[in-house]
Amino acid sequence: MPRPLRNIAQGLTHHTYSRCHGKRNLLQGKYGRLFFIEAVRQCQEKYDFALIAAEIVANHIHLVIKTDQGKQTISLIMQYIKARIAEKYNRAMGMTGAFWNERFGSTVIEESENPEGYLLWLLWYIGYNPVRKGLSRDPRLNDIGFINCYLNKNHEAPVKITPHHFFIKLGETFEERIKKFIFYEDAYLRRLAVYL
C-alpha cells in the first residue's frame, strides 16, 4: 500500500520530528548539538521560513516551522536540515550510510481541533522532551532552550526563534503573554503526572 502524501501546504505551521537510524543516540553530546545548530542556521540563511521551536534529544529532533506562502515547502526545508546533519556527522565520525531512520513525521497545527491551544501546549511538550529523557532538569536549561524565547523578551537562542502569532495573541504586553503561556506549562505537567 503506498504511503499517504505529506501535507506540504504553505503559509501554515508544521510540527516535524525525525529519529536517528535504529533509534540510536547519534545526536547525544556536544557534537550532535553543534551539527543540529549549524544545519538549522544554514537552512535559515538559505530558505524563507519562521522557526517557532527547535529541540534536540539524543536520538531525535523536533522542529516547529511556519512556512511562507509561495516559498519553500516543509519537505524541502526538512530535507535540507536532515541532509546537513547527516553529512556533518558522517564526515566528523568517518562514517557512511543512513543517519535517519525514516522520512520525517509532520502535523499541521492549523488543522487540529484547537490550533491555538494545541500549539501552546505543544511548545511545552517539545521543551520537556529532553527532561523526560533524563537529559535536562528543566526546559529552560535544554541544549537549545528555545522555550526561553517565549519567557524572556531579550533571550537569544543558538538558532533564530520567531514567537508564533498564537503566542503574540495571548496578551497586549510580553508580561501578559508569559502569564498565560505558563498556564500551558501547568496543563502539560498535570497531564504528564497522570501518566507517571
Q: List the single range of 66-70, 73-77, 102-106, 144-148 with lowest mean pLDDT.
A: 102-106
Instruction: Report the 10 Å Cβ neighbour count for 66.
Output: 20
Three-state DSSP class for 5?
Answer: coil
Q: List pLDDT tens digits, range 19-36.
A: 999 888 989 888 899 999
Q: List pLDDT tens digits, range 150-159.
A: 999 999 999 9
Task: Please give the model's pTM, rounded to 2 decimal places.
Answer: 0.92
Distance, in Å, from the CA atom of 9 to the CA atom of 71, rounded to the nearest integer, reads 11
Q: List pLDDT tens digits, range 87-128.
A: 999 998 888 888 998 889 999 999 999 999 999 999 999 999
Contact between residue 142 and residue 36 where contact means Cβ atoms under 8 Å apart? no
Beta-carbon contacts of 143 under 8 Å, excluding residues fewer than 6 positions away, are 33, 55, 56, 130, 135, 136
According to CATH, what is the number of the domain 13-191? 3.30.70.1290
